[in-house]
């Protein structure tokens, strides 16, 4: 083909501002309505994808700043304890998820020594699969949650856990004798967000609990559920779990997160649960 011949139109980028997917893109971070260049994506979309993939990989391997989180919490007036799982390094943690659910024996003894009166709640801040998220939001969400609880509650020291999987909150809560354990942990990074924090609540934590025994609040980040709002939301869920004496599939989140202009939900009789 000579330079004077017209270019094959199938190789032109598709840029239709009136395409329905293009209009929907302002409501979601999902990659839709990107257009195309021949059989592939436009260069800008390919570069954006590559950048997001690199950020996700970096989040998985990022350094967990446990001491900085502990200092931030201490400055806010909260006592902390540092513990570790049986995953001794990051490579082991990624290859052996089971070790991230089990406490190192020295950490178990440290927690047993700190156990005093029956604690109402222990908050655990763990690195998970995105230390990036925990470094950014973990201390803020933990502090907001604890500050929103009744003053008469007996709170365990905040446990800062390295090499943590979600279920590590079970032996931690069990060793401290806590009624409720709430784990704040970095979620598996995706191509839309690498800085998302998850919260997992378990009533009566003990080794052997399953995911059906937990409640999860996810996507805590500036582009999702605001870290400032998340603390109050989690406090409400914790109080509900304490009131009913349960968590997991039987505990419903009755909080209405819609804008204030929405009509308020009808009141329920005492003890009733709303369908979710």
> Does 105 count as an annotated binding residue?
no
> Does 109 count as an annotated binding residue?
no
Q: How far apart are CA 181 and CA 200, in angstroms?
A: 8
> Does 124 count as an annotated binding residue?
no
Exposed/middle/buried for 9, CB within 10 Å: 0-12, 13-18, 19+?
exposed
Which residues, including other chains, have CB under 8 Å from residue 191's CB and lie 6 or more apart? 31, 49, 52, 53, 56
Beta bridge partners of 159: 81, 124
Annotated binding site: 166, 187, 216
Annotated binding site for adenosylcob(III)alamin: 166, 187, 216
């Amino acid at each position: 083909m000579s330079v004077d011949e017209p270019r094959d139109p199938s190789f032109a980028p598709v840029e239709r501002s009136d395409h329905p997917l293009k209009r929907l893109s302002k409501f979601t971070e999902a990659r839709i309505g990107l257009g195309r260049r021949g059989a592939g994506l436009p260069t800008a979309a390919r570069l954006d994808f590559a950048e997001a993939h690199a950020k996700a990989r970096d989040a998985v391997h990022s350094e967990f700043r446990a001491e900085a989180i502990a200092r931030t919490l201490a400055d806010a007036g909260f006592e902390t304890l540092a513990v570790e799982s049986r995953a001794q390094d990051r490579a082991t943690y990624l290859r052996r998820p089971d070790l991230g659910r089990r406490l190192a024996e020295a950490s178990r003894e440290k927690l047993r020594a700190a156990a005093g009166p029956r604690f109402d709640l222990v908050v655990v801040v763990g690195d998970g699969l995105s230390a990036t998220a925990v470094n950014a939001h973990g201390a803020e969400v933990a502090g907001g949650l604890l500050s929103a609880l009744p003053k008469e509650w007996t709170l365990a020291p905040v446990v800062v856990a390295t090499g943590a999987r979600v279920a590590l909150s079970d032996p931690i809560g069990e060793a401290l004798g806590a009624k409720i354990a709430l784990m704040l942990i970095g979620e598996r990074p995706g191509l839309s967000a690498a800085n998302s924090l998850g919260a997992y609540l378990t009533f009566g934590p003990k080794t052997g609990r399953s995911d059906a025994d937990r409640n999860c609040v996810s996507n805590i980040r500036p582009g999702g559920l605001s870290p400032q709002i998340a603390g109050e939301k989690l406090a409400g869920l914790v109080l509900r779990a304490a009131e009913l004496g349960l968590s997991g599939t039987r505990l419903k989140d009755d909080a209405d997160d819609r804008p204030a202009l929405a009509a308020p939900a009808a009141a329920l009789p005492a003890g009733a649960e709303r369908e979710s």
